[in-house]
Structure 1
Amino acid sequence: MNRTIALAGILSAALIGGSFAADPTVDRQNIMKNVGAATGVGAKIAKGEMEFDTATAQLVFNTLNAAANGYGYLFPAGSETGNDSEASPKIWEDMAGFEAAVAKFAADTNVKVADLDGFRAAFGAATQNCGSCHESYRVKKQ
């Protein structure tokens, strides 16, 4: 996968998910599509399956950080279900814990990429954060 395709993939996901619906469950799902696209590109860079370049690597973190900074606002009371939401009821039961997890993700993704080793370290921390949040605050579909 070359840089142009990777950038196109991230930007396409951002455009698809960029329009906000009247339903916060739809908005959350669109943002997670952006996160998934950026994480996919980041994983390829981290594994050496895609050549590292600072522009693409930075776009990965910019996409993750933008999601983190907006995501926490999309869980108002009354948005617990709908549209096959994977949001766990624990989010609303432990909103302070959820907000802390989102804040940690925002901090972990507020990165300026300089080189591959730095990217790998920061990407590892960010994706570990994703995993722990999904374990606590996401209902896995069967």
Structure 2
Amino acid sequence: MKFIVLSASILALSASVALADPIADRKAQMKARGALVGELAPIARGQQPYDAAKVLATLEEMSKNAETDVSVLWPAGSEAGDHTSSLKVWEDPSAFEAAVDKYKSDVDAAVAANPQDIDAFRPLFGAITSNCGACHEDFRVKRG
């Protein structure tokens, strides 16, 4: 019986590893990141009332989302396929990793600041979104 359980466990583990898809994983991560930014953008623009608890909770989710292991989501060999990552990701991985680290650092700084009003929040959010734009400019292929 132990052999059957052990064999089933090994089979399940190898199946999950075999099904791992870094392209799908990074697309899901970026989609989630975009949705989180999308929750805060109307607040930053003054289109929604400022809610410090909601802002902090969303920033904390952004921090969790930013825990990106570049080597896992953009491993060698995942350059080909249906994605918008530029070849620069693989050609200059240290620059890409620095961009990812800068984003994470700015998100963590915003969490630590725990902005209590719109005036404190806007510059923090601006720093975060400027990281998004810079990374997209350097490490993303524009489609269409």
TM-score, scaled relative to structure 1: 0.80
| Between 49-58 and 86-95, the greater mean CA deviation after superposition | 49-58
2:63 to 58, 65, 74: 65
Structure 1 residues 125 and 33 mapped into 2: Cα distance closer, same or farther (>3 Å)? same
> 5+ residue gaps in structure 1?
1-19
Q: Is the 8 A contact 1:91 1:98 kept in 2?
A: yes
Query: What is the 5 A alignment of 1:29-108?
Result: 29-70=27-68, 72=70, 73-82=72-81, 84-108=82-106
Q: In the TM superposition, what is the alpha-carbon distance from 1:64 to its structure 2 partner?
A: 2.2
**Separation in 2, partners of 1:78, 1:68:** 22
Please tell me whether Structure 1 or Structure 2 has the larger radius of gyration of its CA atoms: 2
Q: Could you tell me whether the CA contact under 8 Å between 1:86 and 1:138 is conserved in 2?
A: yes
How many equivalent pairs are there?
122
The 3-state SS of whatever aligns with 2:38 is: helix
- Can you give the 5+ residue segments of structure 2 that lack an aligned partner in the other structure? 1-16
Measured in 1, the distance between the counterparts of 2:42 and 2:107 equals 17
- Which whole-Å CA distance do the structure 2 matches of 1:65 and 1:139 have between them? 25
* CA deviation after TM superposition for structure 1 residue 61, in Å: 1.5
* C-alpha RMSD of the superposition: 1.6
